[in-house]
Amino acid sequence: MSQSQIKSQIQTETIAGVGLITLNRPEALNALTLQMVNRLSAVLNAWRDDPNIEVVAIRGNHKQGPFGTFCAGGDIRFFHDAAIAEDPALEDFFTAEYSLNHLIYHYPKPYIAFMDGVVMGGGMGLAQGADLRIVSERTKMAMPETKIGLFPDVGGGYFLSHCPGASGEYLALCGQMLTGDEALAVGLADALAATESLPELWNSLTKNTQLSPTKRFEQLQNQLTKTPPQPQWLDSQIDSIFSLPTLGDIIQALENANNHWATETLKTLRQRSPLMLHVTLEQIRRGRELCMADDLRMERTIVQHCFYTNHLNRRAESSETVEGIRALAVDKDQNPKWNPARIEDITPEMVAPFFISPWPDSQHPLANLK
């Protein structure tokens, strides 16, 4: 891909002390490639060190123009093809993406994410470290990775585990889609704005230049709605069931609950990768005790094992993740052949090696994160 193509997919401009980023790959719901991730990192690092830039904002383009879609995550077709080819660019992608997530979490200047439309997977990694996370009534937010034999990465072990009660476990395992007000209710957004107001809010960051960029940011922050209604999906049973010690306990409790919510939740879990459900629950529980840097290091270890699951003699095309992507996005038969096929067939010995780094500490790809 040429530099001009990459720049067209990551559009940037600087106006009145504000750095503006627009994700512009609408035909793929702004799904991230390695080149896009590297470009975002280069831009943010340059602006971090530029005294003329005081505030940064990011949004996505839809086919009809600005807003409407934020980012659907990483390019999973690339994951599939690169894994089968054992292309080293696959490992480069996750190292670069998680480094970018860390950069955003620790960005020293106000960083604003306009999370309109689809916000999933890697899109959450671009947004959850923001100082102001704006959603709309059009927001569709989720971490649905267990559906493709993966886990909620890009810092999901950190930000989902800090959702209230056991809602993080529920969201991580089920991949529940959230509207804007629901995201606000569980702490995955800071403010709710009407879709039609988004262009004006975006432009307000670069107008009224009598105020400093930081004051304009504070003005925007103060004018937005921050009190969400209670989301309907936040069933009182979530805390009592999803806080149970093991996935087996959670499944048993759902079977015993004998109500519509429990039946539908159980149906969802039975469709997900049994192996990665167990890994994901352990990830969230561990992530609750970690800082962002340590969580991302843990996730970089897990994702390595997802594609190269040597302890189960599975790698590349035979891996759980490649099979999940094949079923959803390549052959589109929606019929993944999970291995093992049942939640009850997963043993601790299958799960534990996902958390053992294949590298010495000093050689971990994210060893330098602090």
Respond yes or no: is residue 97 known to be catalytic.
Answer: no
How far is CA 178 from its chain centroid?
13
CA–CA dist 310, 297 (Å, integer)? 19
CB 18 within 8 A of CB 205: yes
Distance of CA 247 to the CA centre of its chain: 22
Q: How far apart are CA 269 and CA 282, in angstroms?
A: 16
* Helices 274-287/247-257 angle, 10° precision: 110
Cβ–Cβ < 8 Å for 274, 341: yes
Residue 23 parent element (H or E): strand 18-23
Strand partners, 134: 114, 191
122 is catalytic: yes
Catalytic residue among 60, 73, 74, 117: 74
Q: Evaluate whether 149 touches 325 at the Cβ level (below 8 Å).
A: yes
Going through 84-163 in order, the beta strands assigned E by DSSP cover 111-115, 118-120, 132-135, 140-142
- Kindly name the residue from 122, 125, 149, 287 that is annotated as catalytic: 122
* Catalytic annotation, pick one of 54, 116, 145, 181: 145
Would residue 255 show up in a list of annotated catalytic residues for this protein? no
Contact 299, 143 (CB under 8 A): no
Q: Is position 131 annotated as part of the catalytic site?
A: no
Fill in the amino acid letter for 88: P
**Other Cβ atoms within 10 Å of 207 Cβ, number:** 12
For residue 307, the surrounding DSSP H or E stretch is helix 292-307
Question: Which of 153, 181, 182, 295 is flagged as catalytic?
Answer: 153
Could you tell me the two tokens for 170?
A: 């529920």
Which residues are known catalytic residues? 74, 122, 145, 153
